[in-house]
Amino acid sequence: MSDHLWMHFTRLSAYADTPPPVIVRGDGPYVYDSTGKRYLDGLAGLFVVQVGHGRQELANAAAKQASELAYFPIWSYAHPKAIELAERLAHLAPGDLNRVFFTTGGSDAVESAWKLARAYFRRTGRPSKHKVLSRQIAYHGTSMGALSITGIPALKQDFEPLVPSTFRVPNTNYYRRPPSSGDTPEEFGAWAADRIAETIEFEGPDTVAAVYLEPVQNSGGCFPAPPGYFQRVREICDRYDVLLVSDEVICAFGRLGEYFGADRYGYQPDIITCAKGMTSGYVPLGAMIASDRLAEPFQHGTNWFAHGITYGGHPVGAAVALANLDVFERERLNEHVRANSPVFRGYLERLLDLPIVGDVRGDGFFFGIELVKDKATKATFDDDESERLLRGFLSKALFDAGLYCRADDRGDPVVQLAPPLICGEEHFAEMERILRAVLTEAWQRI
């Protein structure tokens, strides 16, 4: 049945004899499969569907734009929705991030930011600044440049050699912080930020162009920034003239209760990369939003940023993004997330009474639950156990129980939850109930 569909990040052997789940319809925070069974969408598709499924007004915005002007490039020409959306994003983005370079998704936004960083330093007389730092286990996309910046060895090994000149620094996993990295979150944050300075020094400040950080790191299971971390990183970037790229492909558009994650933690990036929630996934669209300073060299004479993508800033995507932002405003979704994040966290923290739940962490509507073999020692599962637990049992059991979410072991085993931003207490309670039953059974099977 699905012999011709090459599913992404999927072991095709898993579906050699059985068909994959086929999702045919969505309504609010729920999706339905081809047998009519309902699932709570605990991951907003893939951290995407912020306003929920089945919104007629987003479908209408797409249809209207497609009938008026389905396509035109933004190469030397413009169209009204791209102009309007760029202006709206520039107003929403922190500080002087006023230049919006549209892409089609996250990986090409991440690539674009690296290219801009290199071109900017070249055009301003520092051509040796080209290297990029990023954090261990962080995911920044799959195209060759973005994959080089990604910090997950298992995703890279089949594709080496990658683009050279990327280097890893520690992430902000407080639960598994190394000994001597500080006891309080503040001390740990300062320690982690200082590793960035150390790596810049080691590589040579004249060679480092940018550091890529997510406001809350997704991969590894939601690592929020400790208090003071981003302020210290900003100081370090200023000291060495290294660009701070806030990769907000997940964390923008309400995921943390703000339009942009940088505002949640009060720091000023030089570039924001974003995608996913910008259109709530009704149409693909992404962007790199750059500061006035970075755009400046490209505004004179024959200078240009020699980069572009056919579908970047697609008219239908831009029209849908504007309608999506209208929904955000009208329904006060950011306020809703801020008010309900503690309630969501509270439901998930109830699971800490289970022997298998070691840590609950995250922010906004974006949480990870780390599973452990021994809570006292924080001992994690070995590869075989992880395989049996996550692949063999958990993902499928959660799905069978009516909760679509993600069990992942790109770091230590975690279950991740990032539902549509319209969810409320009844949905948090539903997630807790299903997770409790399935994690209890998982513990018995280990």
Ligand X SMILES: Cc1ncc(COP(=O)(O)O)c(C=O)c1O
Among 141, 145, 277, 313, binds ligand X (CB under 6 A): 141
Nearer to ligand X, 85 or 149 (CB): 149
Task: Candidates 249, 272, 356, 435: give the one binding ligand X (CB under 6 A).
Answer: 249
- Within 102-121, which residues bind ligand X (CB under 6 A)? 105-107, 110
Count CB-CB contacts under 10 A for residue 79.
19
By CB under 6 A, tell whether 135 contacts ligand X: no
Residue closer to ligand X (CB basis): 217 or 340: 217
Which residues make Cβ contacts (< 8 Å) with residue 11, sequence separation at least 6? none
CA dihedral (118, 291, 85, 265) positive or negative:
positive
Site string for ligand X, 19-58 (x = CB under 6 A): ----------------------------------------
- Residue 110 vs 290, nearer CB to ligand X: 110
Q: Which is nearer to ligand X, 86 or 249 (CB)?
A: 249
**Of residues 306, 268, 279, 280, the one with CA closest to residue 122:** 306
| Close Cβ partners of 360 (under 8 Å, ≥ 6 residues apart) | 345, 348, 349, 351, 352, 367, 368, 369, 370
Total residues at the site for ligand X (CB under 6 A)? 13
**For ligand X, the closer CB: 190 or 287:** 287
Name the residue whose CB lies closest to ligand X.
Answer: 106
CB closer to ligand X, 237 vs 275: 275
Window 175 to 214, contacts with ligand X (CB under 6 A): 214
Residue closer to ligand X (CB basis): 249 or 337: 249
In whole angstroms, how close is the CB of 222 to ligand X at the nearest point?
A: 12
Q: Which of the stretches 10-18, 245-253, 327-335, 382-390 binds ligand X when contact is defined by CB under 6 A?
A: 245-253
* Structural Rg of the chain based on CA atoms: 22
The one-character DSSP state at 12 is: G
Q: Which residues contact 256 (CB under 8 A, 6 or more apart)?
A: 215, 216, 264, 337, 363, 364, 365, 366
Q: Does residue 247 bind ligand X (CB under 6 A)?
A: yes
Sheet strands (E) in 254-327: 271-274, 286-291
Stretch that binds ligand X, among 138-146, 332-340, 381-389, 396-404 (CB under 6 A): 138-146
The helix-helix angle for 229-240 and 185-203 (nearest 10°) equals: 20
Residue carrying the six token digits 């071109």 = 119
- The yes or no reply on residue 366 touching ligand X (CB under 6 A) is no
Closer of 141 and 419 to ligand X (Cβ):
141
The CB-of-96 to ligand X minimum distance in angstroms stands at: 23
Closer Cβ to ligand X, 407 or 442, answer by number: 407
Binding mask 273-292 for ligand X (x = CB under 6 A): --x-----------------
Torsion angles phi and psi, residue 91, rounded to 5 = -70, -35
Single residue of 121, 139, 230, 328 touching ligand X by CB under 6 A: 139
Q: Give residue 347's Cα distance to chain centre.
A: 23
Sequence-ordered list of residues with C-beta below 8 angstroms from that of 229, at least 6 positions apart, any chain: 172, 189, 190, 192, 193, 265
| Binder of ligand X out of 118, 140, 255, 336 (CB under 6 A) | 140
**Shortest Å, Cβ 247 to ligand X:** 4
| CB half-sphere exposure, 142, CA atoms < 13 A | 6
Return the structure tokens found at 209: 């162009």
Q: CA 189, CA 178: separation in Å to the nearest integer?
A: 12
Which residues sit at the interface with ligand X, rule CB under 6 A?
105-107, 110, 139-141, 214, 218, 247, 249-250, 275
